[in-house]
């Protein structure tokens, strides 16, 4: 919408709010070609995931905590793709930190 002040996402979104496979691939390609952008994206995810993982680990029921965040857990396969792509672009310590946080999240469910 012109003049609304809201930027539209460049990711095509499937029903359910998840980015399509093709959009995710295009987004990862862009991040890989622009190393500073990949580093910024991974840094953002590290900060956000540290907060979410800490909340989950201190929740009375971690499974219920994650179950209450379906938008996040549906994107876990994409977050893992970002980590694999980032491994080739960002400093090793950053990729390792992100990977360790992902390991503390629920295992991603694979769509069939």
Residue-wise pLDDT tens digits, 37-72: 999 999 999 999 999 999 999 999 999 999 999 989
Residue 7 is assigned to a structural domain of this protein: no
Residue 75 is assigned to a structural domain of this protein: yes
What whole-number distance in Å separates Cα of residue 33 and Cα of residue 49? 24
Residue 28 is assigned to a structural domain of this protein: no
pTM of the predicted model as reported, rounded to 2 decimal places: 0.75
Residue 112 is assigned to a structural domain of this protein: no
Residue 41 is assigned to a structural domain of this protein: yes
Q: Is 46 helix (H, G, I), strand (E, B) or coil?
A: helix
Residue 61 is assigned to a structural domain of this protein: yes
Residue 98 is assigned to a structural domain of this protein: yes
Residue 11 is assigned to a structural domain of this protein: no
| Domain enclosing residue 66, as ranges | 34-103
Residue count of the chain: 112
Count of domains for the chain: 1
């Amino acid at each position: 919408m012109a003049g609304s002040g809201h930027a539209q996402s460049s990711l095509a979104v499937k029903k359910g709010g998840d980015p399509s496979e093709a959009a995710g691939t295009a987004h990862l390609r862009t991040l890989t070609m622009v190393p500073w952008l990949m580093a910024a994206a991974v840094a953002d995810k590290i900060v956000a995931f540290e907060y979410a993982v800490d909340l989950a680990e201190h929740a009375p029921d971690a499974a219920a905590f994650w179950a209450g965040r379906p938008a996040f857990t549906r994107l876990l396969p994409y977050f893992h793709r970002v980590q694999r792509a980032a491994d080739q672009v960002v400093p090793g310590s950053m990729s390792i930190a992100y990977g360790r946080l992902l390991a503390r999240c629920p295992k991603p469910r694979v769509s069939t």
